């Protein structure tokens, strides 16, 4: 299993009891094949979690101290940053594997950064300054993330 899928599985297993979790289907089916593919769907994000709010979460796990912009599909940053509803919270959850740190960044804040910087990647230090750290506890090899604390932190934020 690739590292990204492992991170997704860790997040899924970290969802607090009583919350609803749904992972959107990856696009495996399409009309046509290979270079001749004529249709593919692009999900707004990887998953959603429903508690008091609906969280739209795009999960990214990357080696190194920055995450390249090209790891985020244009439709994801565009669509998620357009969500303006009191009860829906769109976040990019960025995991820096080597640093063993994970941050949630509001979609509109990430879009603004991407549009105003000369950089081609999202640096770890920017995430630490502008995001909400999601505390992860390593259990031998895999992590358990304190999503309950993250969800509680975002209550009441517009």
% of residues, the chain, pLDDT over 90: 76
Give pTM, 2 decimals: 0.86
In angstroms, the Cα distances linking 145 to 16, 22, 55, 136 are 10, 17, 15, 4
Identify the residue whose tokens are 């919270």. Answer: 89
What is the token pair recorded at 54? 């609906």
Selected from 3.30.200.20, 3.30.160.60, 3.90.1150.10, 3.40.1350.10, the CATH number assigned to the domain covering 3-18+42-153 reads 3.40.1350.10
For residue 30, the model assigns a pLDDT of: 45
3-state class (DSSP) for residue 125: helix
Position 32 confidence tier, pLDDT thresholds 50, 70, 90: very low
Show the 3-state SS of 35-87.
HHCCECCCCCCCEEEECCCEEEEEEEEECCCEEEHHHCCHHHHHHHHCCCECC
Tens of pLDDT along 70-128? 999 999 999 999 998 889 999 999 999 999 999 999 999 999 999 999 999 999 999 99
**C-alpha to C-alpha distance for 130 and 124, rounded to whole angstroms:** 10
For residue 3, the model assigns a pLDDT of: 86
């Amino acid at each position: 299993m690739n590292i990204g899928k492992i991170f997704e599985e860790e997040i899924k297993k970290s969802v607090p009891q009583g919350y609803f979790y749904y992972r959107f289907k990856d696009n495996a089916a399409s009309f046509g094949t290979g270079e001749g593919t004529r249709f593919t769907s692009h999900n707004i994000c990887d998953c959603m979690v429903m508690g008091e709010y609906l969280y739209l979460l795009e999960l990214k796990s990357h080696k190194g101290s920055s995450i390249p912009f090209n790891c985020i599909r244009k439709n994801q940053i565009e669509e998620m940053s357009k969500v303006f509803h009191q009860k829906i919270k769109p976040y990019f959850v960025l995991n820096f594997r080597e640093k063993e740190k994970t941050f949630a960044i509001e979609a509109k804040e990430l879009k603004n950064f991407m549009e105003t910087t000369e950089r081609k990647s999202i640096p770890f230090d920017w995430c630490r300054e502008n995001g909400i750290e999601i505390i992860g506890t390593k259990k031998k090899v895999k992590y358990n993330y304190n999503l309950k604390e993250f969800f509680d932190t975002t209550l009441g934020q517009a």
